[in-house]
Amino acid sequence: MFVIIGIVVVLGAVLGGFTMGHGNIALLIQPAEFVTIIGAALGSLLIASPLSVIKKIFGSIPQLIKGVNYTKQDYLELLKSFNDLFLLAQRDGLLAIEKHVESPKDSEILSLNKTFINNHHASTFFADTMKVMLSGGVPPHELEALIDAEIETFEMESKPVVNAISKVGDSFPGLGIVAAVLGIIVTMSSIDEGAATVGMHVAAALVGTFLGVLMAYGFVNPIATNLELQHELEKRYLETIKACIVAYAKGNPPIIAVEIARRTIFSDYRPSFQELENYIRGKSDK
């Protein structure tokens, strides 16, 4: 949502300022410049990126619009569900939670956490790790290394998408210059057609430079930054899950395991110790 608002603000500020300076917005509508710059940018993306990365770029559009926004409530629900699950394992043995791990969506404990359940990657990440722990014979440090390997893989998979978009953004000013130079070539070939015609061709050429810089710094590079931050938030969510599992695997009581996990949460979303304790006990904060 904020991405759409941001796009509207950028366009409103640029076009509004241009209009306030007595500019004619119709002069900015130069289809040839748009085709040259955007077409060349898409072509450079195809040259630079394998098909798998291109698919991920277009697949990230819904995520970009929806955004990754974990709230304090999401983390409270996550930690409470893990506390309840580990309490069950502590009371009845690890095998008692096997059905919850095998099918988190059908678990009366985990299914209460809708954010977790609807996040296929996070729920699968948790369930697969717990299955390894239930199989036995895996020491905590080996389990932690296994989790780290998966988080690293997630991070490495997301980087090419951000890098590809950033490189395209960086190329836009140069492509704008290419379009402007082509416009000047057209202008020089029409120099005997009068000042008015030459002026229109020069204006069209300058639109190319304007469009290239605007696309780079107004849209594409901010989009790459947004995706990078969203991946960081997703990684932090996985790190919190990891901290809780590893702490429990090392023999800590469930309440200590979730407290260790709580401290991995970014401060903007981190519940206090008292808030977490009250939520786990079913008390409301006053």
Q: Are 160 and 168 in contact (CB under 8 A)?
A: no
What integer is the mean pLDDT of 253-257? Answer: 94
| Across 105-110, average pLDDT | 92
Least confident of 64-73, 80-89, 166-175: 64-73
> 10 Å Cβ neighbour count for 138?
15
Q: Which residues of 9-29 are buried (b: 16+ CB within 10 A; e: fewer)?
A: eeeeeeeeeeeeeeeeeeebe
**Tens digits of residue pLDDT in 5-53:** 999 999 999 999 989 988 888 888 888 889 999 999 999 999 999 999 9
The string of pLDDT tens digits covering residues 192-221 is: 887 888 888 888 889 999 999 999 999 999
**Cα–Cα distance measured from residue 28 to residue 18, given in angstroms and rounded to the nearest whole number:** 10
Counting residues of the chain whose pLDDT is more than 70, the rounded percentage is 99
Instruction: Kindly state the tokens that stand for 166.
Output: 């950033």
What is the 3-state composition of the chain as percent helix, strand, coil, each rounded to the nearest 5? Answer: 85, 0, 15
Distance CA 212, CA 37 (A): 7
pTM: 0.86
pLDDT tens digit string along 72-81? 999 999 999 9
User: Is a pLDDT exceeding 80 seen at residue 137?
Assistant: no
